[in-house]
């Protein structure tokens, strides 16, 4: 990883006792790029925006494809986790630390099998969401509870705090770390939710590091949904031509 000049790169005081030299990441663990059908943000602009905000770790989790995330990994001068929001028969599951695209339309169990086959992690994006049709059904979350590695306890596009509280309670009950991400579909949303966490080498360290992370941020304006609807319409129109 190239050195970052960001103020988040090194912690001058031991935030975690005995770890004065801990490299601290400021991570937005849920970002979309123009590779998502409902997003038109180019990769380069995302990199620039992250650098402006001192974000030095992101998970690119496009809908149905990892190509943008793989490209971002080559392009960005900071840590990029290759992820994907996979639409299963019961709603979305996020695979993280992936190598290739996982097809949609499979059952949650089969999807998890495919994530594991790539050595990836299973994350539940926007859990217990009542407004979003694509959210994984509550009963399906319970069904796969033992297979979940991490769960979003803050998603800036999820309007209800009660859902976040449910997610936190679920994470606690099952002893899994809570994750946070802006779910940015536009540039201005990037960084609206972040985790400050120690640097990690691999997915196992990532989980440990996340468990010690500090989540910050909040909700995005409800108007951001207008932009992603517009991006979806635009991309459908362009595809038809
Ligand atoms: Zn998303």
Q: Is the pLDDT of residue 45 over 60?
A: yes
Q: How far is the CA of 61 from the centre of ligand 1 (A)?
A: 6
Q: How far is the CA of 21 from the centre of ligand 1 (A)?
A: 33
The answer to whether the CB of 74 falls within 8 A of the CB of 55 is no
Which of 2-11, 12-21, 121-130, 131-140 has the lowest average pLDDT? 2-11
pTM of the model: 0.85
Higher pLDDT: 137 or 231? It is: 137
Q: Collapse the DSSP code of 43 into the 3-class scheme (helix H, G, I; strand E, B; otherwise coil) and give the result.
A: helix
At 13-26, the pLDDT tens digits run 445 555 555 678 99
Q: Is the pLDDT of residue 241 over 50?
A: no
Q: Is 89 exposed, middle or buried (0-12, 13-18, 19+ CB in 10 A)?
A: middle
Say yes or no: domain 24-240 is CATH 3.40.50.720: no
pLDDT for 132 equals 76
| Whole-number Å distance between alpha carbons of 145 and 164 | 17
Q: What average pLDDT does range 75-87 have in this prediction?
A: 97
At 208-236, the pLDDT tens digits run 999 999 999 877 766 666 666 666 666 66
Best CA proximity match to 30, nearest among 71, 70, 58: 58
Mean pLDDT score of the chain, rounded to an integer? 88
Which of 6-10, 24-28, 55-59, 62-66 has the lowest average pLDDT? 6-10
Q: How far is the CA of 132 from the centre of ligand 1 (A)?
A: 11
Residue spans of the domains in the chain: they are 24-240
Q: How far is the CA of 201 from the centre of ligand 1 (A)?
A: 25
pLDDT for 202 equals 96
Q: How far is the CA of 105 from the centre of ligand 1 (A)?
A: 17
| Whole-number Å distance between alpha carbons of 80 and 74 | 9
The answer to whether the CB of 232 falls within 8 A of the CB of 38 is yes
The answer to whether the CB of 178 falls within 8 A of the CB of 171 is yes
Q: How far is the CA of 15 from the centre of ligand 1 (A)?
A: 30
Best CA proximity match to 35, nearest among 67, 79, 1: 67
Distance in Å from the first CA to the final CA of the chain: 41
Which of 36-40, 81-85, 114-118 has the lowest average pLDDT? 36-40
Q: How far is the CA of 94 from the centre of ligand 1 (A)?
A: 9
Q: How far is the CA of 87 from the centre of ligand 1 (A)?
A: 11
Q: Is the pLDDT of residue 7 over 70?
A: no
């Amino acid at each position: 990883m190239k050195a970052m000049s960001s103020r988040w790169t090194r912690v001058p005081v031991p935030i975690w006792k005995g770890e004065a030299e801990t490299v601290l990441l400021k991570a937005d663990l849920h970002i979309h790029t123009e590779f998502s059908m409902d997003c038109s943000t180019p990769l380069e602009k995302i990199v620039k925006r992250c650098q402006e905000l001192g974000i030095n770790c992101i998970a690119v989790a496009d809908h149905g494809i990892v190509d943008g995330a793989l490209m971002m990994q080559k392009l960005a001068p900071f840590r990029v986790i290759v992820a994907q929001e996979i639409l299963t028969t019961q709603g979305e599951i996020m695979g993280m630390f992936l190598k290739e695209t996982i097809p949609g339309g499979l059952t949650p169990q089969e999807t998890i099998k495919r994530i594991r086959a790539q050595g990836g992690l299973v994350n539940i994006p926007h859990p217990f969401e009542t407004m979003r049709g694509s959210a994984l059904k509550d009963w399906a979350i319970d069904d796969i509870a033992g297979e979940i590695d991490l769960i979003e306890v803050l998603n800036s596009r999820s309007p209800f705090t009660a859902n976040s509280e449910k997610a936190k309670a679920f994470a606690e009950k099952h002893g899994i770390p809570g994750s946070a991400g802006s779910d940015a579909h536009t540039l201005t949303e990037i960084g609206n939710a972040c985790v400050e966490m120690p640097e990690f080498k691999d997915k196992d360290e990532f989980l440990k590091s996340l468990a010690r992370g500090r989540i910050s941020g909040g909700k995005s304006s409800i108007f951001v949904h207008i932009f992603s609807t517009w991006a979806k319409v635009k991309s459908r129109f362009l595809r038809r031509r």
